[in-house]
Amino acid sequence: MPTALITGITGQDGSYLAELLLQKNYRVIGIVHPESTVTYEYINPIKDQIITAGGDINDDEFLFRVLNQFQPDEIYNLAAFSFPPASWDYPVLTGEITAVGVTRILETIRKVNPKIRFYQASSSEMFGTPLEVPQCETTPFCPRNPYGIAKVYGHWITVNYRRTMGLYAVSGILFNHESPRRGLEYVTRKIAHGAAQIKMGMTSELHLGNLDAVRDWGFAGDYVQAMWMMLQRDKPDDYVVGTGQTHSVREFCDFAFRYVGLNYQDYVRVDPNYYRPVEDMPLVADPSKAHNSLGWNPRVDFNSLVQMMVESDLDRLSKIM
């Protein structure tokens, strides 16, 4: 039975990845920060099948202890200060967790067991203001916020430990991936939750920013499959993971509200306070390498993703009414 260690196991990606690995008969270890404010909601259904270890990835002694105790075959680093706009409020903390934390894990792997395979969660936010469309593995990085900058550091330190130290270390450059487990601060979940609330008479308006902003949105459950695939290859490499298609916030609203029998134009209010900086070119993936080398393809399309998220919020809200 292989052993996998997941940082950020209580989050959207961590919980889906844990479920996938359990299905593949892994022993799953999850690191949880003892002072974290997140709940165990997403891993509650599998809590009896996993082992959690409380600690901080910026604590060298803790990392040495965990790696020596559990001897993982694979490590998936999903821990990050993960909401890009908020990284301006906590730029130092973002750097400590999202950038330096990666180095600490890699250095611990090198010292404890350099045969451990390591996955780093890189991000399309590293492209920032992209220099070409679509973006692939060779597109230059041009990050625009502390989160994207920290992710660039984490990405390149992973590449360099692979090239210089010979570790099996890969980065998955993941584009936006959503699910019913997405936080309410993200626009996709905000729309799904808002449509459900309005349908159930719990509110009458939904305030959003630029409805014409576009994103490459996929399903998180599909993307964790790509993470696992990256660590099963004979040789380590980096991959862009996305759908290669873009949809606007307006389209997301339209489908979400139509799904509950409403017209979004009657309820959505554009609020300039929610606008993000103007994007010269859209973030959209060229996932050709992942398709051709890994055999990975997304299974959930855009409409199914929106439907899944709205249905989940309708179900959640019906239980509290």
Residues with Cβ within 8 Å of residue 27, at least 6 apart in sequence: 1, 2, 3, 4, 51
- What architecture is the 183-216+246-282+302-318 domain classified under in CATH? Alpha-Beta Complex (3.90)
Interstrand relation of 214-215 and 247-248 (parallel, antiparallel or unpaired): antiparallel
Mean pLDDT of 54-75: 96
Q: What is the model's pLDDT at position 160?
A: 98
pLDDT in tens, 156-182: 999 999 999 999 999 999 999 999 999
**What pLDDT is attached to residue 186?**
93
User: Each residue of 179-207: pLDDT tens digit?
Assistant: 999 999 999 999 999 999 999 999 999 99
Domain boundaries, the chain: 3-177+217-241, 183-216+246-282+302-318
- pLDDT for 89 equals 80
pTM of the model: 0.95
Query: Residue 272: its pLDDT value, please?
Result: 86
Q: For residue 217, is pLDDT > 90?
A: yes
Residue 274, pLDDT score: 82
User: For 86-144, what is each residue's pLDDT tens digit?
Assistant: 778 888 888 899 999 999 999 999 999 999 999 999 999 999 999 999 999 999 999 99
Active site residues: 123, 125, 147
CA atoms within 13 A on the CB side of 27: 8
Specify the CATH number of the domain 3-177+217-241: 3.40.50.720
Per-residue pLDDT at 36 exceeds 70 = no
